[in-house]
Amino acid sequence: MNHYTVDDAGIAILGGLRWEEFAREAGAAIDDPRVRGAIVVASAGLATPLEPCDARDLGSLLRRIETSGKPFVAAIAGTVAGGGYEICLAGHYRIAADHPTTQIGLSDVKAGLMPGLGGTQRLPRLIGIGRALPLLLEGGKLGPRETKEAGLVDALAMGCDLLASARAWICAWILEQAGKTTAQPWDAKGFCIPGGTSAHLFFAASAMLRERTMGLYPAPVAILSSVYEGCQVDLDTGLKIEARYFIHVRGTPEARNQMRLARSRQELEGLAERPANVPAHEFSKIGVLGAGMMGSGIAYVCADAGLEVVLLDTTPENAERGRAAAMGIFDKRDQARLTQVQSRIHATDAYADLRGCDLVIEAVFEDRAIKAEVTRGTAAVTGDGIVFASNTSTLPITGLAEAWPRAENFIGMHFFSPVNKMPLIEIIRGKKTSDACLARAMDLAKKLRKTPIVVNDSRGFYTSRVFSTYVNEGLSMLLEGVAPALIENAGRLAGMPVGPLVLADEVSLDLMRHVREQARADLGADYRPNETDQALHLMIERCGRHGKKTRGGFYDYPEGARKRLWPELTTWFPVRANGPEVAELVVRFRYVQSLETVRCMEEGVVQDRRDADVGSVLGWGFCPALGGTIGHIETVGTDRFIAECERLEKAYGERFSTPGRLRAMAFAAR
């Protein structure tokens, strides 16, 4: 039974959302003598089948569509960025809705996969290799104007006219082409790829790919090879080549890791760990204390999500500055939106204005006294029945909660900078934080369209604690006499976004020192100095280097020129001859973070591996190809990981010791 309708002109409309439906209908339409042409309605639902045999079947169908002799037109609306767009490429004409929600591309690479339904073969043949490669390799999506300019679609139409335009094109085609059959340009004799197949293009593409991916992602390399090898032959042969690469990529650990991460992230965003039996909360007004960089960023995301915001600071000027900063993040070209959000942020220095807030977020200085003061000041106005959240990145929540009359309503909500871009919120339960309070914080995270992870209170929580082991390892290496350039490059080759030394400069050596001092004060006799303390002492006390903002730290930051390692660094941290191989440094960087994560889980700071993995990737850029800090252990294999830890512990010390939990996991797996 076919669900498509055929109108008087013989045009069928195929709107199957799932590929099996689509396959059935399209196949029938090709054979149906009533059907003279078809419109494929492409929208977000069409996804690429992952099973190779299913992909092969669908691939063959697409080939049948384009060689059927009947015109197929794709009518595109919404986000169509994977197999759905590949189906459109097999059509003979593409029309997209001229609306900002139209987003078109081939985003498989972002998931660690590659197009498997002809995208790497048809797109270059359609728009040329040079224009197709960035889209295929980066997986970006384009809006309506851009897709038309780039040639991904042939025409735009107003949303309501989409189907009518498609019909009109087919009717015109039927009239003018009576007797002729459709042929894709690439099936015509003497077809040449627009712009040709330049060897130099591929040469540069390989290098630029390595620059961008550090050689850690197999999917884009496979895409590049698929285009290179496939575009030198006919389409059918090219499709065979693509199919082989597709199967290869699907089987890589990187693809598995990235897909697992995407799934985990979706589950966390869907609040999989939200306490049950707590009714959902509708927010309307949020209080933000502190109009600095974090405060203004938080104000922005709240206003952007449709919430009223009260932005409070010590003076009206400070508050106003924060408000202006938040407003400045909005796109100035979107006047309609600007007017809409204009009135949402209320800048003030009066606590009284916090009355009526559903939830208040504190984002003032990392100082207990200041935080306690503003916390108490808020409670006096709002009462302790609302949730009070601290954006602290280092001060344990349980202690801060003492300033809030009802500790069960106090929680940590650690945002990341820049707040408008970073999706993660690290939600931290204090010792007394209730389920209801947690649920409410998670509800806010969802309202703000952020990705929440939930951790239990401890020093450094999860993200700051594990991330600091990366920097500490880099400083260890420096103290051991490893060349600074090697350390930095090793950090990036380990999959971290930047090297540990430049990171330290950006955080500022003074701030790092401050955090360590605070910990020393809090822990007293239990405080254990580490390599960070040693290196900071040398840099700050002996060299007078404080970080990026003041004269430089590990790097110099010359005006108008690229940063470079401080030339005198190796005088203070002499480089040992016969240094280590970069591979060893990479292992150290990755293992130290995974091990600290396992300890966090052992101590109950993190309870679900999804929080650990997603938190590591979104929080501090741990390499997604490894699947996160726990994913990394699985990728290596627990037994091999433990064996490596034993070697690393002997070579470098206790921080590489194997946690009991890991041994237990390995034992259980046998």
Partner 1 sequence: MTEAYIYDAVRTPRGKGKASGALYQCTPVALASTVLRAIQQRTRLDTGLVDDVVLGCVEATGEQGGDIARSAVLHAGYAETVAGVTVSRFCASGLEACNVAAGKVISGEADLAIAGGVESMSRVPMGSSGGALFADPSVAFPAHIVPQGISADLLATRRGYSRNHLDCYALQSQLRAANAWRCGHFRKSIVPVVDRNGETILDRDELVRPNTTMEDLSRLEPAFALMGEKSGYDSTAIQRYPEVEAIRHLHHAGNSSGIADGAAAVLIGNREAGEKLGLKPRARFRAFASIGSEPCIMLTGPAPATRKALKKAGMEAGDVGLFEMNEAFAAVVLCFMEEISVNHDRVNVNGGAIAMGHPLGATGAILLGTLLDEMERRDVETGLATLCVGGGMGTATLIERV
User: Rounded to an integer, what distance in angstroms lies between the CA atom of residue 276 and that of residue 606?
Assistant: 19
User: Do residues 322 and 301 make contact, with C-beta atoms less than 8 angstroms apart?
Assistant: no
Phi, psi of 337, rounded to the nearest 5 degrees:
-65, -45
Tell me: does residue 637 bind partner 1 (CB under 8 A).
Answer: no
User: Rounded to an integer, what distance in angstroms lies between the CA atom of residue 288 and that of residue 295?
Assistant: 6
The residue whose two tokens read 């010792």 is: 431
Q: Which residues pair with 428 in a beta bridge?
A: 412, 455
* Residues in binding contact with partner 1, number by CB under 8 A: 33
- Answer for which of 189, 200, 332, 670 binds partner 1 (CB under 8 A) is 200
User: Rounded to an integer, what distance in angstroms lies between the CA atom of residue 116 and that of residue 274?
Assistant: 37
What is the Cα 309 distance to its own chain's centre? 27
User: Rounded to an integer, what distance in angstroms lies between the CA atom of residue 420 and that of residue 412?
Assistant: 19
Q: Supply the minimum distance, in Å, between the C-beta of residue 222 and partner 1.
A: 9
- Answer for which of 562, 571, 577, 670 binds partner 1 (CB under 8 A) is 562
Tell me: does residue 87 bind partner 1 (CB under 8 A).
Answer: no
**Region binding partner 1 by CB under 8 A among candidate stretches 8-16, 55-63, 144-152, 561-569:** 561-569
- Answer for which of 111, 155, 214, 278 binds partner 1 (CB under 8 A) is 214
- Answer for which of 69, 185, 215, 529 binds partner 1 (CB under 8 A) is 215
Window 222-251: contact mask with partner 1 (x via CB under 8 A): --xx--xx----------------------
**Region binding partner 1 by CB under 8 A among candidate stretches 13-21, 209-217, 318-326, 338-346:** 209-217
Cβ proximity to partner 1: between 200 and 333 the closer is 200
Tell me: does residue 364 bind partner 1 (CB under 8 A).
Answer: no
**Interaction residues for partner 1, span 180-199 (CB under 8 A):** 199
Tell me: does residue 208 bind partner 1 (CB under 8 A).
Answer: yes
Phi, psi of 400, rounded to the nearest 5 degrees:
-65, -30
Cβ proximity to partner 1: between 10 and 195 the closer is 195
> Which residue type, as a one-letter code, is found at position 559?
E
Helix H or strand E segment including 95 = strand 93-97
**Region binding partner 1 by CB under 8 A among candidate stretches 155-163, 182-190, 210-218, 612-620:** 210-218
Q: Which residues pair with 348 in a beta bridge?
A: 312
Cβ proximity to partner 1: between 154 and 229 the closer is 229
User: Rounded to an integer, what distance in angstroms lies between the CA atom of residue 229 and that of residue 412?
Assistant: 52
User: Rounded to an integer, what distance in angstroms lies between the CA atom of residue 467 and that of residue 620?
Assistant: 7
Q: Sign of the C-alpha dihedral, residues 332, 338, 344, 348?
A: positive
Tell me: does residue 202 bind partner 1 (CB under 8 A).
Answer: yes
Mode of pairing for the β-strands spanning 79-80 and 103-105: parallel
Structure tokens at 236: 């059918």
**Region binding partner 1 by CB under 8 A among candidate stretches 180-188, 206-214, 234-242, 352-360:** 206-214
Tell me: does residue 211 bind partner 1 (CB under 8 A).
Answer: yes
Cα of first residue to Cα of last residue in the chain, in angstroms, is 51
Q: Supply the minimum distance, in Å, between the C-beta of residue 106 and partner 1.
A: 18
Tell me: does residue 625 bind partner 1 (CB under 8 A).
Answer: no
Q: Supply the minimum distance, in Å, between the C-beta of residue 134 and partner 1.
A: 13
**Region binding partner 1 by CB under 8 A among candidate stretches 119-127, 322-330, 438-446, 483-491:** 483-491
Mode of pairing for the β-strands spanning 387-390 and 141-142: unpaired
Report angle CA 135, 488, 531 to the nearest 5 degrees.
140
Which residues of this protein are in contact with partner 1, per CB under 8 A? 199-200, 202-212, 214-215, 221, 224-225, 228-229, 483-486, 488-490, 493, 562, 564-565, 579, 582
